[in-house]
Amino acid sequence: MPKEEKITKQDKEKLSKEIEEAKKKLEAKKIEKQEEKPKIEEKKQEKPIEDKIKEAPKKKEKKERIGILNIYTTFNNTLMNLTDLSGKSIAKFGGGQSTKQDRLKANPTIAMFVSQRIAEEARDNGITGFYVKIRAKTGQNNPGPGAHAAIKSLTRAGFKILSIMDTTRVPRGGPKKKGGRRGRRP
């Protein structure tokens, strides 16, 4: 039994020495950390705010400009008018500026050419996206054949289409229809 007590006493002494060494290390680390904090604060105080602003890398922010594209499509022609958000006209093109044949003015292919010209003008003015307003002839249910092709070519050109709205005017009773009292006769 006495041997066990000696071993435990020796173990206790070793453990107490290890504990004291660990405490000393912790205290030394705390002191080092406290010394580092004022150094960091001193560095912060040394540089004025203006220097920090100058050192920061400048990022080129691409401003996103939005325009309104009014597309008027009938079965005889396609007209496109690009405006800014206030309504000021930037560019206006029609089917007659792309072809001289009247029968082709409403053609989807001609509508694509018109929209390409609109896209060039939009790029020159820094426009990146559109609110599209499609209008057909008053009283007709569907827009002309060029509307879909025009929007499709604009998305291919890399523009964002934010919304597509149908602004076709609807007659509510309206003026008298042509044909006379007895209607159209063969």
pLDDT tens per residue, range 6-35: 557 777 787 788 888 888 888 888 787 777
pLDDT tens per residue, range 46-86: 555 655 565 555 556 667 889 999 999 999 999 999 999 99
C-alpha–C-alpha distance, residues 160 and 91, integer Å: 18
- Cα–Cα nearest to 124, from 149, 90, 151: 90
Amino acid 30: pLDDT: 79
3-state secondary structure of 102: helix
The two three-digit tokens of residue 111, written as one number: 């509508």
Higher-scoring residue by pLDDT: 5, 170 = 170
List the beta strands (DSSP E) in 31-109. 65-73, 78-83, 89-94
